[in-house]
């Protein structure tokens, strides 16, 4: 018997196997119409009938019976008691109405009103003959009776229906419980099973369960709805699918799904998040995934961000002048659009909507025009379009392929005259030459012949407008320098108006039809900071017109480019096609994926999201970064949140990059070294020797965090104590230690790394003061990672005393300082000690501090987050969860109630527990033992249990840390729950609106490293890497590569078997 790529097919019943959907719908209608008439008479209101299209499909179809009743009643604003499942069909309760519907349905079945879809039955016979197992999962409590009636019960190996669900307490669709239970009964892997559904809630359940194929059957003209809600393949009838096609899906289609994200609809309220996730980039620059035809507006934001490109401006806010350094939104290279004949330029909007996704004034009007409104006299009359001609999107599909870094979009659009046009675009940021980008724009007339005009632009007349809460600040960072155009070439030069950085973009257009090059007459139009190229050609129905837009981007602050304007023009002069850039970029991506890819067998969802995170990690910090003087922005190169600043998040990022691109990591560490001078000045300003790296770092390494914060509700200014998170300096030197441990870079150690490490240690040694009473050293005036606690309630001065995480890492750092010195050559060490004037007396004090530093710990072995934490009030967590639902930002909730989080035992994210994430429990115990403390055997367990229930997870990083610690403690279910929440955090925008402002780089890379560190059990503490697998129960296998101490290692990790190949 032929071996197949899938093992089972789990069918829904109603609407898939049997045509009982209409019988159900009729029974629902009769029951609800009877109830609604009576209800209307009692309430003296109008009777509105229950309809199949508006009510059955929207609120009832596919749901358990009582859930369907409740859902519909809620839609009509009718409140009834839930009742009991035993309620009589005459009872006016949710259960009573549900039972009345069931009574009507059963009468219809007994009358023989049930029919099968023969094509489904035919497929079932084929499956059985091929040895593929068959199950039924249905919300109906009548499934057994129906299957017996149509003679199919004996074909079904497992049946999970409404009766079974009630017995087992399974959740209804869109939860996946009934489908996963069916697979469990068959003892099969979910990713090797097919789910067949006709309801939206059913395909959502299939998607939520991570099954290998979710097949949607569109019997209600709902193909699009099924597709956007989770169906991988949609058919109108089962006759359109067979075993061979399903096999092909598991070989090719499923693999493509694991390598991409895609969207088959356009939802304005989600565009911001999608644009972030669909970004293209290469480490030097990143460009958001906005539609090419749009400009910044309420829903779209086509930003481009270049590593290290900052500008500082003053703003008047609340009666004060404040200075902010922003991550500059660079000139937009994307814009391109078309028009048919004498029609209007295409700007997309939704079918049946007057809401444009672009500017209703036209292709040349931008956000800064609206704000400044000072250049309208420079634009010709025909540059301004009206709303009536905006195009409608009839169909849209977008897919980002992680393997190639190509974003492909396909649309069918219609203008006011009824011209329908297929528009296909592909874009990429070259991973081979990080200065290049390419866009292919293909137009195909579907129902007309005639003229098509194309208009392309480079637009530097833009502002920073991607984060709503920054909009009171001065956001105009760019000013025009010059524009040039020569035929198909156009060039733009702008500069930042404070940092004086030149940014050059050049574009070159190639036009073809049916493979033949065209040479249209190009027309140019330009105003300061914006240049447009347009042309018109004749087109025929069904014949594509292709425009390749090749782009070069250079700046004056990276790589010692003498003239970025000339460099951009020269870069394009040697490039002759989109495919030339594409092929070279794909080759570069292939080499990257050969190093970084993590292959998971058994979980298509985790596989997709881990690759999404790998993709954005490389987009943010690629091999190209080795030549750049730029750190790693916490929000990547996909948005303006946190103003593109560098925080401590690279603590979660660099350990992974260490294993693949050590030169990129070295560059990120050199970013800190080159700013060591300002870090030393920062320490001196605070009365210390050594170095303090800022909480927020940007262009030059000064502290970018505001010292005052305006409360928008009260209008009052208050102190911002977040710069007291001095642990960022500890993250810097931990990253240095980790880099040296993995890569043994003696040159970096002796010439750069050791100096930074020692200067940070010098600061902490100076920060530590001897307590004459305890005869231990204390550290005061700091904040830990938990940003909810800034100070003691009774004081105005910011900072806390003896933060456990900080003090543990300080003790660790002071000890490691001696290890680093021992690793240095005698000559290099002598030169460094003389350079920084570090003598034996100072080193002896460091040693003393490392042996007598205070670590606040209770008699039970609980680390006190900071001195005084145990005296704070307990929070009524149950009350706040019930009152607010989402309590992730408990600080904001408490402040809105006139309270302070400083009063309560509540944490935004792991604080004391961070020590166990950075260092392993054994090392912490050893460290505390050397300090004179005796931690209990179950040290981690006690601390985890204590702090987990007092943490609100207001940071995406929080779930990651707690998941790791839960995994170490053997709490696999909790660990998996927290890990999947972290893994999905940007993909589903778990924080409700932050992803549109930029990805969270720390949690993205952190979840990737977690898979290696926790699930594979990767240990890098010895001379060779080792693994001790503890895979999730549904993961069969995990494959990955890494570099360690000059050798490459390939791991194949199973639940009970490991294979390791080593080269080098």
What is the 3-state composition of the chain as percent helix, strand, coil, each rounded to the nearest 5? 40, 20, 40
Task: State phi, psi for 237 to the nearest 5 degrees.
Answer: -150, 150
Eight-class DSSP state of 259: T
∠ CA 1060-1063-1064, nearest 5°, is 145
Q: Which of 315, 273, 265 is nearest to 290 (CA)?
A: 273
Cα-to-chain-centroid distance, residue 999:
5
Whether 400 contacts 423, CB under 8 Å: no
Is 787 known to be catalytic?
Answer: yes
Choose among 408, 324, 288: nearest CA to 999.
Answer: 288
Nearest to 950 by CA among 858, 856, 870: 870
Beta bridge partners of 409: 398, 425
- The Cβ of residue 34 has, within 10 Å, a number of other Cβ atoms equal to 14
Distance CA 503, CA 501 (A): 6
Q: Say if residues 306 and 290 touch (Cβ distance below 8 Å).
A: no
78 backbone dihedrals φ, ψ, rounded to 5°: -105, 125
How far is 327 from 475, CA to CA, in rounded Å?
A: 10
Cβ–Cβ contacts within 10 Å for residue 1054, how many? 15
Question: Alpha-carbon distance 662 to 621, whole Å?
Answer: 11
d(CA 619, CA 665): 14
Convert 602-659 into a string of H (helix), E (strand) and C (coil).
CCHHHHHHHHHHHHHHHHHCCHHHHHCCCCCCCCCCCCCHHHHCECCCHHHHHHHHCC
Phi, psi of 61 (to 5 degrees): -55, 125
Q: Which of 378, 309, 365 is nearest to 528 (CA)?
A: 378
Work out the widest C-alpha separation in the chain, in whole angstroms: 99
Question: 3-state secondary structure string, 367-391?
Answer: HHHHHHCCCHHHCCHHHCCCHHHCE
Give residues with Cβ within 8 angstroms of 640, minimum separation 6.
303, 305, 326, 327, 329, 464, 466, 467, 470, 997, 998
Residue 558, burial from CB neighbour count under 10 angstroms (0-12, 13-18, 19+): buried
> Given 750, 787, 790, 921, which residue is catalytic?
787
Residues 95 and 85: beta-carbon distance below 8 Å: yes
The answer to whether the CB of 345 falls within 8 A of the CB of 337 is yes
Q: Which two tokens stand for residue 511?
A: 């036009």
Please list the active-site residues: 787
């Amino acid at each position: 018997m032929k071996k197949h790529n899938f093992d089972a097919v789990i069918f829904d019943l109603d609407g898939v196997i049997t045509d009982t959907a209409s019988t159900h719908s009729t029974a629902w209608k009769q029951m609800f119409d009877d109830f609604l008439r009576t209800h209307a008479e009692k309430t003296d209101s109008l009777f509105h009938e229950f309809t199949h299209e508006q009510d059955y499909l929207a609120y009832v179809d596919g749901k358990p019976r009582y859930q369907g009743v409740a859902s519909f009643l809620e839609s009509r604003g009718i409140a009834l008691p839930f009742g009991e499942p035993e309620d009589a069909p005459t009872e006016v309760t949710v259960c009573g109405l549900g039972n009345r519907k069931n009574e009507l349905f059963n009468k219809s079945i007994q009358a023989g009103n049930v029919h099968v879809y023969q094509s489904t039955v035919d497929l079932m016979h084929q499956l059985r003959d091929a040895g593929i197992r068959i199950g039924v999962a249905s919300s109906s409590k009548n499934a057994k009776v129906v299957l017996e009636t149509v003679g199919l019960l004996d074909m079904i190996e497992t049946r999970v229906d409404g009766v079974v669900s009630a017995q087992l307490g399974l959740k209804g669709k869109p939860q996946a419980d009934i489908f996963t239970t069916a697979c469990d009964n068959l003892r099969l892997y979910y990713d090797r099973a097919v789910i067949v559904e006709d309801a939206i809630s059913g395909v959502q359940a299939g998607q939520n369960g991570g099954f290998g194929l979710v097949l949607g059957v569109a019997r209600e003209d709902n193909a699009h709805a099924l597709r956007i809600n989770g169906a991988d393949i949609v058919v109108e009838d089962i006759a359109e699918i067979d075993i061979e096609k399903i096999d092909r899906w598991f070989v090719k289609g499923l693999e493509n799904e694991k390598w991409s994200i895609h969207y088959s609809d356009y939802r304005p309220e989600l565009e911001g998040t999608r644009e972030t996730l669909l970004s293209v980039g290469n480490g030097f620059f990143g460009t958001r995934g906005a539609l090419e035809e749009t400009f910044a507006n309420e829903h779209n934001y086509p930003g481009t961000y270049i590593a290290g490109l900052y500008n500082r401006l003053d703003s008047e806010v609340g009666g004060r002048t404040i200075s902010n350094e922003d991550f500059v939104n660079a000139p937009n290279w994307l814009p391109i659009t078309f028009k048919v004949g004498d029609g209007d330029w295409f700007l997309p909007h939704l079918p049946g909507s007057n809401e444009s996704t672009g500017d209703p004034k036209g292709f040349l009007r931008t956000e800064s025009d609206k704000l400044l409104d000072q250049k309208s006299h420079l634009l010709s009359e025909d540059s301004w379009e009206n709303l009536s001609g905006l195009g409608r999107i009839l169909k849209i599909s977008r897919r980002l392929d992680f393997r190639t870094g190509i974003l492909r979009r396909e649309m069918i659009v219609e203008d006011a005259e009824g011209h329908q046009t297929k528009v296909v675009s592909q874009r990429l940021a070259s991973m081979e030459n990080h200065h290049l980008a390419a866009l292919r724009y293909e137009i195909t007339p579907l129902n007309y012949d005639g003229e098509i005009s194309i208009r392309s632009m480079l637009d530097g007349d833009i502002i920073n407008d991607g984060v709503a809460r920054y909009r009171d600040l001065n956001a105009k960072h760019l000013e025009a320098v010059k524009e040039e155009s020569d035929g198909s070439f156009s060039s733009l030069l702008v500069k930042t108006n404070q940092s004086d950085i030149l940014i050059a973009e050049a574009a070159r257009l190639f036009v073809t039809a049916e493979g033949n090059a065209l040479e249209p007459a190009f027309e140019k139009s330009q105003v300061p900071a914006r240049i447009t190229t347009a042309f018109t050609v004749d087109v025929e129905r069904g014949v594509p017109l292709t425009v390749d837009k090749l782009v070069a981007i250079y700046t004056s602050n990276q790589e010692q480019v003498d003239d970025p304007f000339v460099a951009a023009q020269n870069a394009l002069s040697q490039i002759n096609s989109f495919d030339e850039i594409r092929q070279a970029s794909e080759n570069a991506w292939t080499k990257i994926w050969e190093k970084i890819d993590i292959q998971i067998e058994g979980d298509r969802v985790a596989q997709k999201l881990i690759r999404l995170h790998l993709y954005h990690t490389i987009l943010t910090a690629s091999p190209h970064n080795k030549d750049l003087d730029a750190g790693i922005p916490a929000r990547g190169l996909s948005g303006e949140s946190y103003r593109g600043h560098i925080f401590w998040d690279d603590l979660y990022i660099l350990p992974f990059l260490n294993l693949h691109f050590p030169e990129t990591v070295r560059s990120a560490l050199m970013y800190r070294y080159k700013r060591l001078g300002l870090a030393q000045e920062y320490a001196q300003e605070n009365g210390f020797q050594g170095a303090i790296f800022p909480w927020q770092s940007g262009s030059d390494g000064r502290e970018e965090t505001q010292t005052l914060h305006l409360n928008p509700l009260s209008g009052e200014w208050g102190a911002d104590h977040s710069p007291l998170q001095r642990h960022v300096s500890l993250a810097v030197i931990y990253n240095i230690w980790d880099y040296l441990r993995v890569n043994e870079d003696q040159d970096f150690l002796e010439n750069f790394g050791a100096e930074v490490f020692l200067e940070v240690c010098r600061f902490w040694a100076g920060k530590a003061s001897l307590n004459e009473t305890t005869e231990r050293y204390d550290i005061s005036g700091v904040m830990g990672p938990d940003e909810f606690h800034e100070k003691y309630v009774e004081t105005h001065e910011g900072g806390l005393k003896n933060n456990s995480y900080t003090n543990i890492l300080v003790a660790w750092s002071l000890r490691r300082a001696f290890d680093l010195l021992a690793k240095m050559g005698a000559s290099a060490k002598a030169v460094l000690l003389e350079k920084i004037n570090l003598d034996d007396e100072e080193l002896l004090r460091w040693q003393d501090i490392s042996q007598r530093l205070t670590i606040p710990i209770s008699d039970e072995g609980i680390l006190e987050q900071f001195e005084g934490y145990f005296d704070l009030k307990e929070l009524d967590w149950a009350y706040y969860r019930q009152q607010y639902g989402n309590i992730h930002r408990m600080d904001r909730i408490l402040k809105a109630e006139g309270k302070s989080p400083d009063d309560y035992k509540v944490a935004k994210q792991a604080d004391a527990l961070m020590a166990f994430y950075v260092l392993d429990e054994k090392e912490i115990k050893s460290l505390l033992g050397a300090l004179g403390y005796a931690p209990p055997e179950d040290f981690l367990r006690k601390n985890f249990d204590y702090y987990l229930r007092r943490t609100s997870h207001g940071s995406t990083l929080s779930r990651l840390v707690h998941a790791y610690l839960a995994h170490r403690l053997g709490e696999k279910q909790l660990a998996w729950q927290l890990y999947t929440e972290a893994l999905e955090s940007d993909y589903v925008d778990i924080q409700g609106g932050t992803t549109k402002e930029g990805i969270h780089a720390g949690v993205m890379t952190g979840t990737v490293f977690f898979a290696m560190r926790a699930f594979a059990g990767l240990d890098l503490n010895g001379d060779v890497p080792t693994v001790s697998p503890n895979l999730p129960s549904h993961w069969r296998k995990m494959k990955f590569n890494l570099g360690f101490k000059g050798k490459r290692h390939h791991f194949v990790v199973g639940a009970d078997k490991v294979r390791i190949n080593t080269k080098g």
